[in-house]
Every structure is written in structure tokens, then in C-alpha cells.
């Protein structure tokens, strides 16, 4: 395949230039100027588009096995390629949980598998404790050997600090991060949104910022003590960011991610959209969202992650107290990041969508260097409107419904094959 005339942005190679790019089989074989198409070679005209290393979403819930009405590996990866993602890291809160080598092998797809309907690469994140129950440490080396790239009880927090320290001790020699879902269950109580002026006005129980920050602080201190790697998932408060910076200054091995919704929405969205804006951690204040955008600009956030958490329409309807937590994210993410941070340099944007996640989780890809996997995301600055009826994901609920987003995925190539091509995405304009 020959991709012609695009602006190739590859932070790993420090490349940002108009170039042509050639793939052969599932690898990138050549980057240069004025490459000539060979007989029979598929050509993509990428004039006016950015051509980037395949985007990676390192925090998604694919729901299979156990919750196939919400999403499957097939529908989730169809949503991924529409959203520009060639690689996903799947969270283990399935039924059963991904806490053994058979389960890791079952949901792991280091290469796409068309017979199985898997259009993107899937790297499993295994549970941190048996059945995600927060009590029993697992045999991490065997899970890594089976293909697990990190460990997390995401959706739940290991409440017992002693168990958490044991987890970190066992993980320290493996150079694989513990991904922390930071939420103190006792402080959260029955909270259904951020505790603040809006929850008071609505008369619903809130979960305070301290429910997140106290666990972030605890796990950073444990990581410093034990020398393990921790990755703080979906950071949502200004103080969590301050704590991460504090720990980094003390040489903690800490990384973190931020979601599109925490960059753009506040708890006022819950007043406006109800259950459609219910998510964990909850949407916080305007000052928190601003602090997260500032943290991205300052280079304090390692990568973007959507926390794609699809549910059925029935589960997302109804009142705030009973509706399911979380919403679909893969298909709005790229446009939403651009809307949140319109002035971010393009190489930083690509690093946050691809390069850095590949480095932190030691995944293949993240670069368009010769010899790298032929995973390519092409996008333009064509504005588009979010219409959940067009989603490939089974999850249709999103607070971004109806929003106009300024950046559009035009084509997604996985392992050398076009997995998605936008309608009306004529280049050259
Ligand atoms: Zn999650």
C-alpha cells in the first residue's frame, strides 16, 4: 500500500513533514518523497490529512465475555477503527474477570482476526487481584507470559492498603504497571456524582474529590516505598495531578492518563444530561477540568485514554441513582481531544494518542519507522457532528451527543489493511 501526500507526524522519529509512506504485508517498509506507485499497489491519497502511527486506547471496556449485550470484541473493535484506534488495552472487569492465563489468551489479539470479527489489536490488562476482589495477589509473571500488558482491578479499588503493597511488591520486578482506579469506597458512599454545589442543588449524594485523592496519595506513597510502577487511571481532580507531580519529583515511577470527558465537562453536565453524564470518577468542577488541560500542555499527562464503557440504552436510561456508570468513548475521542486542546502542537497530540501509550505499556507500534507494524491513523481538520445512531459501538449514550468536533478520522489501517475509511472523506481539499 502507498499512502501519498500526507503530513507524516511521528514523534518517535521527530518527523513532521510531507512524505509518502509504503507498507508491505503488515509492516512499514519505506518513507520518502515522491514514491512511485508500483503495479497493483493500493494507493491512498492523503493530501490534506495527517498520517500518524496507529492510535492506541489503553483504557477500554470491551465487555466480552459476560456482558455481550453492552459490547463484544467485534463491536468494540469496529468502534475502535471508526475512532482511529488500531490498538486497545482491554480492562478485566468481564464475567468471569480476566484473572487467569486462559482468560488472557482468550481476549488477547496481538493481531486483528477477521474471521473472529476483531478489527483492531487487543492487549489484555489482567486483574490485579483474584476475581478483582481485592484480597488475593495473582501469579503476575505467568499472566505476562500469556500476554497481559498491565494489571488493574479497574472499576474497583483495592481497599486494603496491605494487599495493595503486596501487589506492588510482586509487580516491581516485572516492569509492568499497576493501573490504579482511585476511589475510596467509604468516602464515596452512595455518591452518584461529584460532591459539590451541583449535587447539593440536585439533592443527590455526591462522591467527594477526596475519595480519589486519598487513594492516589496512598498508592503513590506505596509505589515510592516499594519501587513499583503505578499508572493512575482517569485522573479527574487538580489535587490528584499535584500529587502525581509531587511523587515524580521524588522519582516515583508514576504515569497517568486523562479522558476526553474530564477535559471538557463539569458536574453541571449531570444537571443537564442526567444519567447520560454519570461516570466514574465523576465529572468534577471547571477548575479541575482546567487543571487537567493545563497538565496536558505542561507534559504532565502521559497519554489520552477514553475509558470507553458502553452500556445498553435501557441501562443508561432512568434516574441518576440507578443508571449504569460510564459511557461509550472510542468514536468521539479523537475529535474531543482536539476540541479540548485546540492549540496543542500536532506532535504532542500524536504522542498522547499513540507513542506514549506504546512506551508506557511496551506495546508494538507507536511509530511509523521502517520495520514497525503497518498501523496508521489518518485524520483531517474536517468538523463533524456526533450522532450516536451512527456508532459501531453498542453503547449509544454519550454527553457528547450533538457536539461538533473539529478533528475527523479519515482512514484507519491495521496490520497493512484498511480497516475503516470515512464516507465523504475526500482528501485534497
Ligand atoms: Zn475504566
> In 278-310, which positions are buried (b, 16+ CB within 10 angstroms) versus exposed (e)?
bbbbbbbbeebbebbbebbeeebbbbbbbbbbb
Between the CA of 155 and the centroid of ligand 1 the distance, in Å, is 6
Give me the chain's average pLDDT, please: 97
Map residue 334 onto helix, strand or coil.
Answer: helix
304 within some domain: yes
Reading the block at residue 350, the C-alpha cell is: 500524536
User: Residue 170's pLDDT is what?
Assistant: 98
Alpha-carbon distances, residue 334 vs 241, 363, 374 (angstroms):
22, 20, 20
pLDDT of 398 above 80: yes
- Share of residues in the chain with pLDDT > 70 (%): 99
Q: Look up the CATH number of the domain holding residue 225.
A: 3.20.20.140
Distance of CA 21 to the CA centre of its chain: 27
Residues lining ion ligand 1 (Cβ < 5 A) are: 154, 307
Instruction: Find the mean pLDDT for residues 332-359.
Output: 98
pLDDT of 428 above 60: no
Sequence length of the chain is: 429
Domain of 275, in residue numbers: 54-366+383-400
406 within some domain: no
Q: Which residue shows C-alpha cell 497519554?
A: 303
27 within some domain: no
419 within some domain: no
192 within some domain: yes
Side-chain half-sphere CA neighbours of 5 within 13 A:
11
pLDDT (tens digit, 9 = 90+) per residue, 234-276? 999 999 999 999 999 999 999 999 999 999 999 999 999 999 9
Please tell me the total count of domains within the chain. Answer: 1
428 within some domain: no
Between the CA of 77 and the centroid of ligand 1 the distance, in Å, is 16
pLDDT of 425 above 90: no
Between the CA of 297 and the centroid of ligand 1 the distance, in Å, is 23
Compute φ and ψ for 338, nearest 5 degrees. Answer: -65, -35
Answer yes or no: 343 catalytic.
Answer: no
Neighbours of 190 (CB within 10 A): 9
Reported confidence tier of residue 318, pLDDT bands at 50, 70, 90: confident
Q: Select from 241, 190, 194, 252 the least CA-distant residue to 213.
A: 241
65 prior amide bond cis, ω within 30: yes
User: Residue 429's pLDDT is what?
Assistant: 37
Indicate which residue of 307, 313, 348, 387 is catalytic.
307
Instruction: Find the mean pLDDT for residues 354-368.
Output: 98
Q: CB–CB of 234/257 below 8 Å? A: yes
Reported confidence tier of residue 331, pLDDT bands at 50, 70, 90: very high
Amino acid at each position: 500500500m502507498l499512502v501519498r501526500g500526507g503530513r507524516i507526524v511521528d514523534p518517535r522519529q521527530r518527523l513532521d513533514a510531507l512524505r509518502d509512506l509504503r507498507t508491505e504485508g503488515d509492516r512499514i517498509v519505506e518513507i520518502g518523497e515522491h514514491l512511485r506507485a508500483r503495479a497493483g499497489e493500493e494507493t491512498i491519497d492523503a493530501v490534506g490529512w495527517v498520517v500518524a502511527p496507529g492510535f492506541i486506547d489503553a483504557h477500554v471496556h470491551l465487555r466480552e465475555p459476560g456482558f455481550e449485550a453492552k459490547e463484544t470484541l467485534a463491536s468494540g473493535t469496529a468502534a475502535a477503527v471508526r475512532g482511529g484506534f488500531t490498538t486497545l488495552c482491554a480492562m478485566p472487569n468481564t464475567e468471569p474477570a480476566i484473572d487467569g492465563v486462559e482468560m488472557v489468551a482468550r481476549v488477547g489479539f496481538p493481531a486483528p482476526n477477521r474471521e473472529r470479527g476483531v478489527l483492531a489489536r487487543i492487549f489484555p490488562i489482567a486483574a490485579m487481584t483474584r476475581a478483582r476482589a481485592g484480597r488475593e495477589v495473582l501469579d503476575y509473571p505467568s499472566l505476562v507470559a500469556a500476554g497481559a500488558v498491565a494489571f488493574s482491578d479497574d472499576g474497583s479499588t483495592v481497599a486494603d492498603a496491605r494487599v495493595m503493597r503486596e501487589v506492588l511488591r510482586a509487580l516491581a520486578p516485572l516492569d509492568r504497571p499497576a493501573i490504579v482506579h482511585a476511589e475510596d469506597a467509604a468516602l464515596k458512599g452512595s455518591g452518584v456524582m461529584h460532591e459539590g454545589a451541583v449535587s447539593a442543588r440536585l439533592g443527590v449524594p455526591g462522591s467527594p474529590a477526596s475519595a480519589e485523592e486519598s487513594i492516589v496519595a496512598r498508592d503513590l506513597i506505596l509505589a515510592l516505598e516499594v519501587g513499583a510502577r503505578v499508572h493512575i487511571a482517569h485522573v479527574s481532580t487538580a489535587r490528584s495531578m499535584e500529587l502525581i507531580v509531587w511523587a515524580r519529583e521524588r522519582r516515583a515511577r508514576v504515569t497517568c492518563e486523562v479522558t476526553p470527558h474530564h477535559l471538557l465537562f463539569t458536574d453541571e453536565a449531570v444537571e443537564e444530561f442526567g444519567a447520560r453524564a454519570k461516570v466514574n470518577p465523576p465529572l468534577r468542577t471547571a477548575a479541575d477540568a482546567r487543571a487537567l488541560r493545563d497538565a496536558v500542555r505542561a507534559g504532565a499527562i502521559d497519554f489520552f485514554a477514553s475509558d470507553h464503557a458502553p452500556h445498553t440504552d435501557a441501562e443508561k436510561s432512568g434516574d441518576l441513582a440507578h443508571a449504569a456508570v460510564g459511557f461509550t468513548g472510542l468514536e468521539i475521542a479523537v475529535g474531543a481531544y482536539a476540541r479540548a486542546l485546540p492549540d496543542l502542537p500536532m506532535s504532542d497530540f500524536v504522542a498522547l494518542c499513540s507513542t506514549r501509550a506504546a512506551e508506557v505499556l511496551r506495546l508494538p507500534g507507536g511509530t511509523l519507522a521502517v520495520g514497525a507494524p503497518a498501523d496508521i491513523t489518518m485524520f483531517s481538520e474536517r468538523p463533524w457532528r456526533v450522532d450516536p445512531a451512527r456508532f459501531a459501538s453498542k453503547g449509544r449514550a454519550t454527553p457528547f451527543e450533538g457536539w461538533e468536533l473539529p478533528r475527523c478520522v479519515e482512514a484507519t489501517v491495521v496490520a497493512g489493511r484498511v480497516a475503516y475509511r470515512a464516507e465523504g472523506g475526500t482528501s485534497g481539499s
